[in-house]
Amino acid sequence: MMKMKQLVVLAALLCVCDGVTFGQLCSGNVGNSKRTTDSWGSGSYGASRGNRLHQGLDIVCNDGSVVYAPLDVTLDRKVIVYNNPAKAAIDQGIQLSSGNLCFKLFYVRPDRTTGTVRKGERLGVMLPMQSVYPGITSHVHVQMCDKSDPTPYF
């Protein structure tokens, strides 16, 4: 039999380990599969992008798919990803917050940019990434506002 004090400590540890997990982000990708490596690079956090590092994590999402809120979220603002006319077709995203978490989804055309959306409900639509990066594994880029690693949430 564990003593009460040990149980309390164990419960506290479980709460730390049992962190926030993002729900399904994209229709057609039930398990939030990550982009691995394609001809354009790797979707992992910290992957090389020439002279810089990839600051987010890429979740597979076919062009035109519906994008869902992965948590109960507040819509903070619209995001401009590149501000580059050559990439206008995919140059949108949304910044979201949920509790203490703040994160951005790139390459998504949001339905709205204010208010709240419940986990699993529609946020918007995946933009036509193939038109800008032919042959890439189309994906939503998930980036934490503090640039920390989003991988533990998946």
**Binding stretches for Zn ion (CB under 5 A):** 56, 58, 141
C-beta closer to Zn ion: residue 36 or 114: 36
**Minimum distance from residue 137 beta carbon to Zn ion (Å):** 10
- Which residue sits closest to Zn ion, CB atoms considered? 141
Give the nearer residue to Zn ion in terms of CB position, either 35 or 71. 35
Instruction: Compute the least distance from the CB of residue 57 to Zn ion, in Å.
Output: 7
Pick between residue 93 and residue 110 the one whose CB is nearest to Zn ion.
Answer: 93
The rounded distance, in Å, linking the Cα atoms of 97 and 113 is: 12
CB of 7 to Zn ion, least distance (A): 42
CB of residue 127 to Zn ion, shortest distance in Å: 13
Reported in sequence order, the residue ranges of the chain that DSSP labels E, i.e. its strands, are 37-38, 41-42, 48-49, 52-53, 57-60, 66-68, 73-79, 93-98, 101-106, 108-110, 116-117, 122-126, 139-144
- Cβ neighbors of 5 (< 8 A, separation 6 or more) are none
